[in-house]
Amino acid sequence: MANVDYKELKKGGFMKQVDKDRFALRVKIVGGQIKSDQLAKVNEIAQKYGAGYVHMTSRQSIEIPFIRLQDVDVVKEELSKAGLKPGACGPRVRTITACQGSTICPSGLINTTELANEFDERYYARELPHKFKLGITGCRNNCLKAEENDIGVKGGMMPCWVEHKCIYCGLCQAVCPAKVIQVKKQEKELTFNEKDCIYCGKCVKVCPTSAWEGKSGFIVYFGGLFGNRISIGRQLLPIIFSKEVLHKVIEATLAFFEENGKPGERFGNTLDRVGWGLLEDRLVELLEAV
């Protein structure tokens, strides 16, 4: 045990337990989805090499505790047979989390699964000054708590009223949480305070005549923390409608953290130290150039 590189094991998803010579294996799962045959393999490994149970983490991963040191290599081989890998730990981009999104959930405004897979391909396990969490939530219901992530993406929808389709039923006013829609049924008048809209898309989804049309986009939050220190991420940019632009924003943010972050310093703490305006100015300049 004296020559065991615990840091390297943790980097590869095997975290040392309290129990001597035992490790909890974190399985890489993207966007909270795992195939049924893969789940069967996880069960098999837990029964054969663990303690017969798994732990569901707070970030949609599965951990298999009580793996023995001498079984680490064979467990990795068994995982690979099902197309699975250990999850990344340590100072790097962690597993991408996501809710069900628009392909499953009636409230969803964006395809969270597709975006999670793109994030995984582009950013997962990238080396950074500290751990970095990316989370995607499909709508304002915020099931994945976008503001608690280092970068959180929340689905949004920009509504547009089509006057000639409107029957002035008032349903849009009734469901609007921001109270930015006012309908006068008798006078057949509708006012929409677009400036204070929160892009929830509820008016679009409830309208019986499609008098509200919506354009889906991404609301991005930066610098969230939920651990020893709790800090709510900030929205530094207006809603983004292009995935290409979204990826440019994330790349620029990760580069900013690489340049300005100190080893062992979370992204939100870096922003507090160097100034949030420094990142905001860089991102605004980026958007102006695209």
Q: What is the pLDDT of residues 37-82, one digit of tens each?
A: 999 999 999 999 999 999 999 999 999 999 999 999 999 999 999 9
Q: With respect to CATH, is domain 6-81 assigned 3.40.50.10860?
A: no
pLDDT, residue 244, reads 98
CA angle, residues 234, 239, 241, in degrees to nearest 5: 140
pLDDT, residue 2, reads 55
Average pLDDT over residues 144-173: 98
Helix then strand then coil, % of the chain, to nearest 5: 35, 25, 40
Round the average pLDDT of the chain to a whole number and report it. Answer: 96
With a cut of 90, say whether residue 24 has pLDDT above it.
Answer: yes
Extract the tokens encoding 102.
């628009």
Residue with tokens 């939100």: 268
With a cut of 80, say whether residue 3 has pLDDT above it.
Answer: no
Q: Percent of the chain, pLDDT > 70? A: 99
Same fold, 97-155+217-289 and 157-215: no
pTM of the predicted structure, to 2 decimals: 0.94
Q: Percent of the chain, pLDDT > 90? A: 94
pLDDT, residue 125, reads 95
CATH number, span 97-155+217-289: 3.30.413.10
- Tens digits of residue pLDDT in 85-101: 999 999 999 999 999 99
- 18 with 52: CB under 8 angstroms? no
pLDDT, residue 236, reads 98
d(CA 264, CA 260): 12
Average pLDDT over residues 145-157: 98
CATH number, span 157-215: 3.30.70.20
User: Where in the chain are the domains?
Assistant: 6-81, 97-155+217-289, 157-215
With a cut of 60, say whether residue 1 has pLDDT above it.
Answer: no
- Tens digits of residue pLDDT in 229-277: 899 999 999 999 999 999 999 999 999 999 999 999 999 999 999 999 9
Extract the tokens encoding 226.
């939920």
pLDDT, residue 207, reads 98
